[in-house]
Amino acid sequence: MTNSRFFRHRLANLLETALIMAALLCLLLYIAWLFAGLNGIFIILIAAIPSLIIGGASAGRLVLHMYRATPLNLSASSGLPVLVSELSKRADLSCLPELFYIPSSAPLAFSVGLGRNGAIALSDGLLRLLSWRELVGVIAHEVGHIAGSDTRVMGIADVASRLVATISFAGQLLLVLNLPLYLFGLASLPLFPIVVMMFSPLLMTLLQLALSRSREYEADLTAARLTGDPLGLASALQRMEHFQNLQLRRLFIPYGRVEVPSVLRTHPGTAKRVERLVDLAKDMETEPVGTDARIVDRPHQILMGINAPTRQPRRRLSGVWY
């Protein structure tokens, strides 16, 4: 891969992440200042530190528990442990992420934690759906999340968002309690701070979503660098989206589908991600960089001896749960 194209994408991703994080923190501090002046800023700074420490230590395992994930014990012939070891080495990770198995027919993959607590969860549906080449790209993408400390970045954003939501609620509650004073003209009603208080949780959510999309692009870029095969990941993204569209069409919309606005997505649109990966592939060598028996296409024999889950996706008030 030529350095110019790779570093141009990386610089754009890093600048976007930095701007979004700056906007998140500035909005948090501004809301705290509106609520209690400088004292509010100091209180927020003091409250955020233990929240990050406590939340970061337990959030990853809690997410794995919610998905009923269990350690993925596979024989050496499956190739997955060797694959994760090789990708982690290329990403300069000090500790190997632990592999977890999700008993779900949906194609799911996510990473949690950092360092010794790093883990990658793969669903039954994903392992059965993708080819080995596609699976290499997806696992490299998740390794990229861990290498880029994305769980820590998103954790900071989540704490900031929760603090803003709490301050916003407290501010609106004080407004309601003092409403009689405003009605009788005994107190002035500052309109702009009230509007900011009301809409700040929504703004924080939109910034969080934008940050998530930015980190997905960066993980795609890291996966392309680790494997030397952007088209493998691109193929996996297209296959997963096709499967999910079929499931949604079967569950909700028999004759079509509803497009979610890009601003409301946690992940960028698949078409845009594939376009970027194809763009990177133009500068790749004929063979993946550093190719060997551990990062090449091979027969797909990962879940031999493991029965496929029989539970089908179900509709609930909160959405679809697999």
Please compute Rg for the chain using Cα positions. 23
Strands 319-321 and 314-316: antiparallel
Contact between 298 and 134 (Cβ < 8 Å): no
Using CB atoms within 10 A of its CB, is residue 112 exposed (0-12), middle (13-18) or buried (19+)? buried
Q: How many CB atoms lie within 10 A of CB 162?
A: 15
Distance CA 278, CA 231 (A): 6
Measure the CA–CA gap between 207 and 151, rounded to whole angstroms: 16
Catalytic residue among 142, 216, 241, 275: 142
Cα separation, 14 vs 7, whole angstroms: 10
Structural tokens at position 148: 């880029």
Phi then psi for 254, rounded to 5 degrees? -60, -25
For the question of residue 142 being annotated catalytic, the response is yes
Q: How far apart (Å, rounded) are the C-alpha atoms in residues 242 and 300?
A: 20
Q: Compute the distance between CA of residue 82 and CA of residue 314 in angstroms, rounded to an integer.
A: 35
How many CB atoms are located within 10 Å of the residue 102 CB? Answer: 24
Known catalytic residues are 142
